[in-house]
Chains A and B, each alone.
Chain A
Amino acid sequence: MTHTRRQFIGTIGAATALIGAPSILRAQAQGTFRIGALCPVTGSGSPFGSGMQKMIIAAAEAVNAAGGAAGRKIEIVSEDTQTSPQAAVLAAKKLIDVNKVQAVLGTWSSGVSLAVVPLTNDANIILMNTSGAPALSMPPANAKGLSYRFQATNDRFGRAFAEICEKEGFKRPATMAFNNASGVGNTEGFRKAWEAKGHKLVESVVYEPNQPTYRSELQKVLAANPDVIVTGSYLADTTIIMREWYQSGQPVKWVMPGWAASPDLVKAVGPDVVEGVISVDSVSNENAPSYKAYDEAYRKATGQPGQSNVYAAMTWDMVHVLALAIEAANGTDMAAINAKIREVSNPAGQQVYTYAEGKEALKKGKINFEGASSVLDFDQYGDVTPDFGVFFIEGGQLNRRYVVKI
């Protein structure tokens, strides 16, 4: 027994040395600014994650090609959140403690971002996410003002849903929400905006993940006879719900967030089932030159059009904003960089669309980076307000009918 214990301790020691050694070596490297690319490569975010990570790398290449930021090259360390808070926390710990990254970019689902933000706060480094949960705006999550959100909040999504329901003339909406901060955030945002317009909800259901069937949940919602069901849901549960709803035979319209009502949903359930579903997503800043640069990079990296992944446009912008802030701060002091983020991206200042352009313009004065994902004007909470595209699923295609501004 003693023997095996000694072996065990030996193994642990060797493992520690293995993990520890390179970090000591790397920590000595000069002239780089290290960023963690923490994206949902596997799990329910997998349709987006690898594209997001590729765009962080591509944007860093663009920055390095323009001579780096504040004289330093950007170096990317990639990790996978598995779209699971537990896995994300382990990965973030590794990025912060072992790789010594100075910023973490690209967390996707709200559960993941809410789990990672205490770690980045403790380390006094920046977190840039694409999550929707309203809780990410306020303390304690954003107590230090180090967290930036490149996606619309779920609350803003809910407000957009309410605008759309009013425009489409729905009278009896019901809601169905996946039980997490994001899902409930969507439907609560909708409820508040809808009731503020003087209307009422007929039913609301919150359901659990990973259930083999959602028939009872549907039964309850459909019993209230709604004319539209507004969801805060994800792809997996929406797939099951849509199939079971179709089999119930009761006609109703659906308004869903774009990460649920995506081309993958059409592929999973077939075009007949999702005919007429309204899919709402923040739209990228498609007419801006920055979007063109992103689109080119995305096609080169993945062979897909940039429009197929709104989150990749956000991660592309993250690296740009961060690098411009480093350049403006002229150093790697985190407080100084953080103070520059709004300065390089919010109005007043020369509008710029690429890193090279921004770096040049910074020599002359203030700049306003207009991103590929949105115009990127951060409010006091570090949130942005993109526009929302309203897509109708028709014959298996997502056709954008109009854009809603809130």
Chain B
Amino acid sequence: MFYAQLLVNGLVQGLVIGLAALSITLVFGIARFPNAATGDFMTFGAYAALSAHKATGSIAMGGLAAIIATGVISLLAYLAVFRRLAERSVVALLVASIGIAFFIRAVLGVAFGHSQQVFQVPLSRPYVFGSVRITPLDLQLAAVALAALALVFAILYLTPIGRQMRAVADNRDLARVSGIRPDRVMIALWLLAGSVAGVAGMMLGIKTIVTPEFGWEMLLPAFTAAILGGIGSPVGAVVAGLLLGVVQEVSTPFVGFTYKIALAFIIMLAVLLVRPRGLFGRLEGAR
């Protein structure tokens, strides 16, 4: 039962990592570079949600603000920077994304200050199932995460723009000759990736505290999950995020709390040694 509780703790943690990894993997699959600004998009989403929550007192409004504001800021980053660098190397884009990350963090630091802020949500006692305790807040956050995931996958697999995005991810040149306009696809991509990061940021903010640096600190686990899941695979990112969260928590009785973080990386190394394309990744020819 002790392990069941650890499993629950890990699932909640994994959902946040999974959403952040999903944002990274979407950008990587279609725009083809690791977006280091994802963490700061999360921070931006958390502050947007925080401001809306303070103004209206409603978490739903906060979530809406996070989705819209982060989608817009992500699109702006694309229009102002990434579009102009589209033909450059991956390194140029990566460095540009680090620059955007610094920029967002600095602006947030000036606008909101560096001291920690919290969502003033009422704390409630957990539901007890057998000896497993689950808090209502975690259930709500899990529902939000699952709804966000369902929406993203619906967009990707059920709508024309989603089909086009997957086509571009699959083979950009073939997509272009088939009459898919990359511009529309890219706008949809950045809106979607930003909104997902915004939701992840709001969830993390509600669970923990909000500071201008807090999203940046989540970047490493999120990248790990994106790589472990197979870069460019949305399903893989989410599954790997959950896996990392669960493995870290369930391992603590054996390796302790200090080394649980290292364990995530050991698992990633082991998977990549056996299966270099990641859990759900596809083999890709040399480009």
**Which residues of A are in contact with B by a Cβ distance under 8 Å?**
41-43, 46-47, 179, 205-208, 210, 212-213, 215-217, 219-220, 223, 235-236, 239-240, 243, 246-249, 264, 268-270, 272-273
Contacts and interface: CB of A to CB of B under 8 A. Distances in A.
Interface residues of B, number: 38
9 shortest interchain CB distances as A-B pairs: A42-B114, A210-B217, A215-B9, A46-B114, A268-B118, A247-B135, A207-B257, A216-B249, A249-B125
Contacts of B172: none
Contacts of B12: 213
Given A249-B125, A273-B123, A268 B257 contact: no
Nearest to A268: B118
B252 A212 contact: no
B207 A247 contact: no
Given A46-B113, A212-B16, 19 more contacts: A41-B114, A46-B114, A206-B256, A206-B257, A206-B258, A212-B204, A216-B6, A216-B249, A219-B5, A219-B9, A220-B252, A236-B116, A239-B209, A240-B208, A247-B125, A249-B133, A269-B118, A272-B123, A273-B123
Contacts, number: 84
B41 to A, nearest CB: 17
Nearest to B252: A216
18 contacts: A42-B114, A43-B213, A46-B114, A46-B115, A47-B115, A207-B257, A207-B258, A208-B260, A210-B214, A212-B13, A212-B16, A216-B249, A219-B9, A220-B252, A239-B209, A246-B123, A249-B125, A264-B116
Nearest to B17: A212
Contact of A236 (B9, B211, B252, B253): B211
Interface in B124-180: 124-126, 133, 135, 137
Contacts of B126: 247-249
B217 A205 contact: no
A247 B16 contact: no
A243 B123 contact: yes
A269 B209 CA distance: 10
B245 to A, nearest CB: 9
A270 B116 CA distance: 14
Nearest to A41: B114
A236 B258 contact: no
Given A236-B116, A249-B125, A212 B209 contact: no
A121 to B, nearest CB: 29
Interface string B10-54: 001100100000000000000000000000000000000000000
A206 B209 CA distance: 20
A235 B116 CA distance: 9
Contact of A212 (B116, B133, B207, B253): B207
B218 A212 contact: yes
Contact of A208 (B2, B137, B249, B257): B257
A236 B257 contact: no
Contact of A217 (B114, B211, B257): B257
A179 B258 contact: yes
A63 to B, nearest CB: 30
Given A208-B261, A212-B204, A247 B115 contact: no
B109 interface: yes
A235 B137 CA distance: 22
Which of A206, A216, A243, A273 has most chain B Cβ within 10 Å? A216
Nearest to A267: B118
A249 to B, nearest CB: 5
Nearest to B214: A210
A273 B114 CA distance: 24
A216 B258 CA distance: 12
B50 to A, nearest CB: 13
Contacts of A217: 252, 257
A241 to B, nearest CB: 10
A377 to B, nearest CB: 34
Contacts of A273: 123
Contact of B13 (A206, A213, A239): A213
Given A42-B109, A219-B6, A239-B209, A264 B257 contact: no
Nearest to B257: A207
B250 to A, nearest CB: 9
